[in-house]
Structure 1
Amino acid sequence: MRIPLSTPAALLITGTVGSGKSTTAQAIGGLLRKDAIPHAVIDLDALRNAWPSPADDPFHERLMLANLGAVARNHVVAGAVRLVVAGVLEDLAQRPLYEQAVGMPLSVCRLPLDLADVQARLHRRHRDDLEALNWHLQRSGELDAVLDAAEVADVEEGVKAEQTPAQVAQAVVRAVGWTS
């Protein structure tokens, strides 16, 4: 299904840590810019980055959703018709909260990637921080299993280690009907 480029729409790129969510979102932003489509790229990790987290909300989900709502509204007021969101959605029951926060129809695309490739990326990313590396290596497998079970995505766009961010972005926009 093709979504007209003038129709407001949001896309959440989800996947395990190290799968390329933020990089893909930025690359999609580049494609939209090239096509002169007013848009915003929003990284959910930045919207939840606060310490400490409440015991009943270790990943600051409530804070992130409140911030997402405010940021999305501000971008729409500024003229954005497309929102590209990078983050983790672990629970199908939470999906309506994300759509409500962005205030427009939301598509979800998961980026599955072989865990060996994820681990190689994490080793590069956290080569100077052993504590962060160990946490992310542990979390990558856990989260991948959670996402397999949760089935939150409308589409999955498998990523290969040799693909460029631009290639992944092109595949994702085709898969969700955002092609020009």
Structure 2
Amino acid sequence: MTHAEVLLIGGRAGVGKTTVGWEVSARLRAATVPHCVLEGDYMGQAHPAPEGDPHRVALGERNLKAVWSNFAELGYRRLVYTNTVSVLPGNTAMFQRVMGSDVRIIRVLLTASDVTAGERLAGRELGSELEQELAGSARKARLLDEQAPEDTVRVATDGRSVLDIAGEVVAATCWLTRT
């Protein structure tokens, strides 16, 4: 395998993207599958936003490119990338620019009900942003449901263990069977 592959784990706030991403990594490590893990939400975190980039999209891509080039230079070809909207079609071109035009993109959309996401966010958001996170999570859930490409694997997280969810996500990659 010479081309790069990226597993995009997307979903609303409170769905478990980061937790599932780390469990996916644990399974891949146990199977000695070389890979890298990036929390995409951190790639553009700069405040105030850079001038001309109010949504931090360009900054996120620049940072992803820098980090991925370091991984690729060391021979890595698989990336587990968690980010709320990473699965949306508008992000395909960014991954092609960063990882190569022949990058294999695997999209997984984690889903959760409003109740489940709300409970998880209430346990996580202990500061001043809970209401903002709840509203944004509901808005992003609708957007993702409407705009995720047809080839996106949808994985429900309500009432399921992280181990079970991660198993389904890893299976979508076929990385364990092609190593």
**Which of the five TM-score ranges fits, normalised by the shorter chain?**
0.7 to 0.9
The corresponding residue for 1:177 is 174
Residue 78 of structure 2 corresponds to residue 82 of structure 1: yes
Aligned to 2:123: 124
CA distances 1:127-157 after superposition (whole Å, capped 9, x unpaired): x21x311110010111011112212463333
Q: What is the aligned partner in structure 2 of residue 105 from structure 1?
A: 104
Q: CA deviation at 1:122?
A: 0.3
Aligned amino acid, residue 168 of structure 1: I
Relative distance call for 1:119 and 1:58 in structure 2 (3 A) is: farther
| Alignment check: 8 A CA contact 1:99 1:105 kept | no
What CA distance in whole angstroms lies between the structure 2 residues aligned with 1:153 and 1:43?
A: 24
Helix, strand or coil at the partner of 1:10: strand
Distance in 2 separating the partners of 1:160 and 1:107:
18
CA contact (8 A) 2:31 2:176 kept: no
- Please, which of 68, 92, 95 is the counterpart of residue 92 of structure 2? 95
Number of matched pairs: 174
**Residues 43 and 33 (structure 1 numbering): CA distance in 2 closer, same or farther, change over 3 Å?**
same
The answer to whether the 8 Å contact 2:11/2:83 transfers is: yes
For 1:28 and 1:99, the matched residues in 2 are separated by 23
Structure 1 residues 24-33 or 72-81, which shifts more? 72-81
Letter in 1 for 2:6: A
- Structure 2 unaligned runs (5+)? none
Distance across 2 between alignment mates of 1:164 and 1:88: 20
Higher mean Cα deviation, 72-81 or 17-26?
72-81
**Offset at residue 179 of structure 1 (A):** 3.2
Q: Percent identity?
A: 26
TM score, norm. by length of structure 1: 0.86
Runs (5+) with no aligned partner, structure 1? none
TM-score normalised by length of structure 2: 0.86
Which residue in 2 is equivalent to 1:15? Answer: 11
Q: Retained in 2: the 8 A contact 1:43–1:85? A: yes
SS of residue matched to 2:7: strand
In the alignment, which residue of structure 2 is the partner of 1:133?
A: 130
- Does the C-alpha gap of structure 1 residues 89 and 102 become closer, same or farther in structure 2, counting only changes over 3 Å? farther
1:142 paired residue number? 139
